[in-house]
Chains A and B, each alone.
Chain A
Amino acid sequence: MKGKVWKFGDDVDTDIIIPGRYLVLRDEKELAACVMEGCDPDFSKKVSEGDIIVAGKNFGCGSSREHAPIAIKGAGVAAVVAESFARIFYRNSINIGLPLIEAKDVSKHVSEGDIIEIDVDGGVLKDLDTEEEFEIKPLPEFMLGIMNEGGLINYLKNHIGDIKG
C-alpha cells in the first residue's frame, strides 16, 4: 500500500472525525462528505482515493460511533497510521475493514504531502521522500484474522457456527 500523507495531531477525537450532528446519517458517502470537519472543513474535498492519514497518539478517542471509521473509509482513505489508537475506534475500524497501522514516533518524522509505503507483511513503513523507515506494531493474530477476511461481518458469515458453539 502506497499513498499521500495527510497529517493530524494527538488525541484526534471522534467529534473531530465526524461531529454529532451528522450521526443521523448512515450512508458511507454522505458521512465521508463531512469527514474531519471538526478541524478541517475542506478535508473531504482535498483527500483522494488511496491517501493515508498520519497522526499522533490516541487517535479516535471518545465516542463509540462507528460513523467515524466509516466516514474515513468512505472518503477513500487507504489506512490510518498513528502512534496509538483509542480502543473502541481500533475495534470498529478493524471490524469494518479499515486498516490501522501503529508505528512509534511516526508523526514526528513524516510530513504532510510525503508519499509513504506500507508493507504490512514485512512490518515496515517507509517514507519515500525521506527514505526513513519505521517498524510497524503487528496486529494481534485474532484481529488479523478478521481483517484478512474483510471485516467482522464476513468473518461471522464464515465462522458463526463455531462461535455459537
Chain B
Amino acid sequence: MGMTMAEKILAKASDKNFVKAGDIVMANIDVAMTHDLTGPLSVESFEKIGVDNVWDPEKIVVIFDHQVPADSLDAVNNHMIMRKFVEEQNINNFYDVREGVCHQVLPEKGHVVPGEVIVGTDSHTCTHGALGAFSTGIGSTDMAMVFATGKLWFKIPETIKFDITGKLQENVFAKDVVLNIIGKVGADGATYKACEFGGETTSAMTISDRMVMCNMAIEMGGKTGLVEPDQKTINYLGGRTTKNYEIMKTDKDAESLETIHIDINQLEPQIACPHNVDNVKPVSEVEGTHIDQIFLGSCTNGRISDLRTAAKIMKGKDVAKGVRMLVIPASREVYTKALDEGLLRTFVDAGALVCNPCCGPCLGGHVGLVGPGEVSLSTSNRNFKGRQGSPEAEVYLSSAAVAAASAVTGRITDPR
C-alpha cells in the first residue's frame, strides 16, 4: 500500500518505514521557527521544563516580524527577551527587526527544503509546504517541548488532494484559486488534514503562487499545505540552501487520500467578505463596495510578483481621495527588488505609504489599524472580526490586482 507525501515525510522523521493516517508518532524536528510575538511565551515555557540548553541551536530560527520596529514598551520588552534567549542559547539563525515576515524570510534564507519537518509558533507556517516540506503551526508550549527535546508528537493526517485544472484568466491569480477552494470546503472543511495542491494549474504556478496556496491551507483547518516538488522547486532552492534534501511524492495508491477536482478556466477574481475567510464571493457580487483602507502585503501576498502586479495597475494613477493605502513588502529582499525596479516610486507617487517589511495591519496590533465602521481591503489571509483593529470594522480579502485596482477607484473593483 502506498503513502501520501505527508505520511512519507512523517514516517522518515519518526524513523519508521510505514505510517498511516491516524497513527501517532514522535517526529524529529528539522526546523523550529519562532517570532517576536509568540517567542517570549515559548521561552517562558521552555524555562519551566528545567532544561538548561536547547536540543540543537542550529535548527532553531528566530525572526522578528510582528511588531517591528517596536511600537510599545511591551513590544520592546518582548524583543529583549528573545535577543537574550538567542545569545544564551547560541542561536545563529536570528533575523532581527530588519529582515521581514517570517514565512517569507524562512524560505528566502534557505531554511526550507523538501522532505523535512518544520514547526513554527505561527499558524501560517503551513506556507512552507510549497517547497515540499511538512510544515505546521504549533503553540508555545509545544515549541518549548521542541526546544528541549527536538521532538514533537503528531497524529498522521489524512490528505485532501486538490487536483486543479485549467488556465487562469488575465488578472486572476493563485489567491483567487485558493479563496475559491476555501469558499467551497469551508473554514473547517480540511480540519486536521494535509491539503495537497496538484494538477496542471499548480504545476504551472510559480513558487510564490504555491506559497499563496499553502499559506491559506490553515483557513480551511488544514494541518499543512503541500505541493509536490519539481524543477521549479529545485531552481528556487539553488543558491539559497546548502542542505541536502529528499523529494517525496504521494503514491497513486495511497489509502488516506481524497481527491477534489477544481476547474478554474472560468474563475473570476474572488473576495472573502466579513467576517470569515470562507465567506467567499466573486468580485462581481461585491463590486462598488466603499473602502477606507487598502493593505498590500503580508505572508500571503507581499511578494515581488504581487508588488509588480499592483504597480503595473497603479502606474501614473493616484490612490482615490479619502482612501489610505499601505504597501508593505514581505521582506528586505522583496523591498530592495521593488526599490531597484522603481515599484516603490510608483506607489509613493500614487500616494500610498510604503512601510518597512513586517506583518503590518494583518496582526491588528501594530501599524495601520482600521476604526469602527471602516472598511479594509487586504491582500492578507484573515478577515476575522477585529482582525485589523476595531471589531466594528469590516475586512475584505483579495488578490494584489483587486487591491490595486480598488485603490485607484476607492471601491472594490474588478481588475480585468
Binding site for B on A (CB under 8 A): 11, 13-16, 19-26, 37-39, 57-58, 61-67, 84, 86-88, 91-92, 95-96, 140, 142, 151-153, 156-157, 160, 163-164
Contacts and interface: CB of A to CB of B under 8 A. Distances in A.
Contact of B38 (A22, A65, A87, A142): A65
A64 B117 CA distance: 17
Contacts of B192: 87
B80 interface: no
Nearest to B125: A64
A76 B48 CA distance: 22
B140 A66 contact: yes
A25 B67 CA distance: 13
Contact of B49 (A23, A67, A84, A156): A156
A84 B191 CA distance: 10
B149 A140 contact: no
B18 interface: no
Nearest to A16: B385
Nearest 7 interchain pairs by C-beta:
A92-B139, A24-B74, A21-B365, A20-B364, A58-B188, A95-B141, A20-B365
Interface in B133-188: 137-142, 144-145, 148-151, 153, 155, 187-188
A88 B51 CA distance: 25
B406 interface: no
Q: How large is the interface on B (under 10, 10 to 19, 20 to 34, 35 or more residues)?
A: 35 or more
13 contacts: A15-B384, A16-B385, A24-B37, A24-B78, A67-B41, A88-B123, A91-B138, A92-B140, A92-B141, A92-B142, A95-B141, A140-B24, A163-B145
A36 to B, nearest CB: 11
A156 to B, nearest CB: 5
B276 interface: yes
Given A39-B385, A88-B138, A95-B139, A22 B365 contact: yes
B365 A15 contact: no
A38 B391 contact: yes
B149 to A, nearest CB: 5
B123 A142 contact: no
A160 B149 contact: yes
A16 B144 contact: no
Contacts of A13: 382, 384-385
Contacts of B387: 15, 20
B30 interface: no
Highest count of chain B CB atoms <10 Å: which of A67, A95, A157: A95
A38 B26 contact: no
A84 B382 contact: no
Contacts of B391: 19, 37-39
Nearest to A164: B149
Interface string B179-208: 000000001100110000000000000000
Given A23-B37, A86-B191, A140-B155, A61 B221 contact: yes
A86 B190 CA distance: 10
Contact of B384 (A16, A67, A86, A152): A16
Contact of B382 (A15, A67, A164): A15
B144 A153 contact: yes
Highest count of chain B CB atoms <10 Å: which of A19, A22, A91, A140: A19
Contacts of B365: 19-24
B155 A63 contact: no
Contact of B142 (A21, A22, A86, A91): A91
A24 B41 CA distance: 10
Nearest to B46: A153
Given A15-B387, A61-B187, A66 B149 contact: no
A157 B139 CA distance: 18
Given A37-B391, A58-B221, A91-B139, 7 more contacts: A13-B382, A15-B364, A20-B363, A21-B364, A26-B41, A66-B38, A156-B49
A21 B315 CA distance: 34
A53 to B, nearest CB: 17
Nearest to B66: A23
A21 B388 CA distance: 9
Interface string B26-64: 100000000001101100110011110001000000000
Given A66-B140, A87-B221, A163 B187 contact: no
